[in-house]
Amino acid sequence: MPPLVEYARAKINLHLHVVGRRGDGYHLLDSLVAFAAIGDELSVSPASRLTLTVKGPFASSLESEADNLVLRAARALAARAGIEPLGALVLEKNLPVASGIGGGSADAAAALRLLGRFWNLDPGLQAGLADGLGADVPVCLAGRPATMSGIGDILAPAPQLPELGIVLVNPGVAVSTPDVFRARAGPFSAPARFPDQGWADAESCAAALRAAGNDLEAPARRLAPAIGDVLGVLSDTRGCLLVRMSGSGATCFGLFADPEAARFAAGTIIRDGWWVWGGSLETA
Q: Which residues are catalytic?
A: 11, 136
Angle between helices 124-133 and 69-81 (to 10 degrees): 140
Query: What secondary structure, in 3-state letters, does 28-53 show?
Result: EEEEEEEEEEEEEEEEEECCCCEEEE
Question: How far is Cα 235 from Cα 214, in angstroms, rounded to an integer?
Answer: 16
Question: How far is Cα 229 from Cα 150, in angstroms, rounded to an integer?
Answer: 31
For the chain, the 3-state helix, strand and coil shares in percent, each to the nearest 5, are 30, 30, 40
3 state DSSP class of 174: coil
The secondary structure of residue 230, as a DSSP letter, is H
Question: How far is Cα 177 from Cα 100, in angstroms, rounded to an integer?
Answer: 8
- 85 contacts: CB under 8 Å, gap ≥ 6: 50, 74, 75, 77, 78, 115
Nearest to 6 by CA among 92, 69, 77, 76: 92
238 exposure class (CB count in 10 Å sphere: 0-12, 13-18, 19+): exposed
Report the sign of the C-alpha dihedral through residues 250, 138, 278, 273, in that order. positive
